[in-house]
């Protein structure tokens, strides 16, 4: 069951306080795009995505989009957000992300993945051996390809959220 268990859980990427990243020694975020950072039907970054990335960058946190979606969607969005991206990431497989981490010379312990799906994002994080924050999908609608995964995800999620490796992210400021 370890393959399905997220390290942390937050309702949304927009709920995660900055001090959490600092406390956990996170310097690089690998963020899923569709339904984690913005709804899948938005071609350009929302104001909240722009504001979030700005805040993270100002605090020395590197933000990289890692998405299973195709290059034209991901590159266009990432350029508008002015961040690096890794597209066709082939999550839940880990080999492309592992290769990317190696090429960039990143320290795995300084990375956290953020994603809304257990069957792609969480499993990929396990195979890549980096921590992950599981979130709820931003909108109920999904890409057709995601619908089957979401069916299983809903069942798994109820169990997994109780078994978090680490505690739920605390929302109290300290």
Q: What character string, x for contact with Mg ion (CB under 5 A) and - otherwise, covers 25-44? A: -------x-xxx--------
Q: With contacts defined by CB under 5 A, how many residues of the chain interact with Mg ion?
A: 5
Query: Cβ 122 to Mg ion, closest distance in Å?
Result: 11
- CA dist 71 and 64 (Å) reads 14
Q: How far is the CB of 25 from Mg ion (least distance, A)?
A: 25
Among all chains, which residue has been given the structure tokens 């937050």?
A: 10
C-alpha 106/C-alpha 122 separation (Å) is 19
Q: Which is nearer to Mg ion, 35 or 125 (CB)?
A: 35
Instruction: Report the residue from 63, 112, 116, 160 that binds Mg ion according to the rule CB under 5 A.
Output: 116
Which of 93, 76, 90, 74 has its CA nearest to residue 36?
74
- Distance CA(47)–CA(156), nearest Å, equals 32
**Distance of alpha carbon 151 from the chain centroid:** 19
Q: How far is the CB of 115 from Mg ion (least distance, A)?
A: 6
CB of 152 to Mg ion, least distance (A): 14
Interface ranges with Mg ion (CB under 5 A): 32, 34-36, 116
């Amino acid at each position: 069951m370890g393959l399905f268990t997220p390290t942390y859980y937050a309702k949304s990427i927009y709920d995660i306080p900055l001090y959490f990243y600092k406390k956990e020694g996170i310097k690089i975020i690998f963020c899923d795009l569709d339904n984690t950072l913005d709804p899948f039907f938005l071609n350009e970054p929302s104001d909240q995505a722009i504001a979030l990335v700005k805040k993270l960058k100002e605090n020395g946190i590197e933000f990289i989009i890692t998405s299973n979606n195709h290059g034209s969607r991901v590159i266009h969005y990432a350029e508008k957000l002015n961040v690096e991206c890794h597209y066709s990431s082939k999550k839940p497989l880990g080999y492309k992300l592992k290769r990317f981490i190696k090429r960039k010379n990143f320290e795995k312990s300084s990375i956290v993945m953020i994603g809304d799906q257990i069957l792609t994002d969480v499993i990929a994080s396990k195979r890549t051996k980096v921590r992950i924050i599981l979130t709820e999908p931003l909108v109920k609608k999904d890409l057709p390809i995601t619908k089957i995964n979401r069916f299983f995800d809903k069942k798994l999620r109820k169990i997994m959220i109780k078994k978090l490796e680490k505690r739920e992210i605390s929302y109290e400021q300290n």
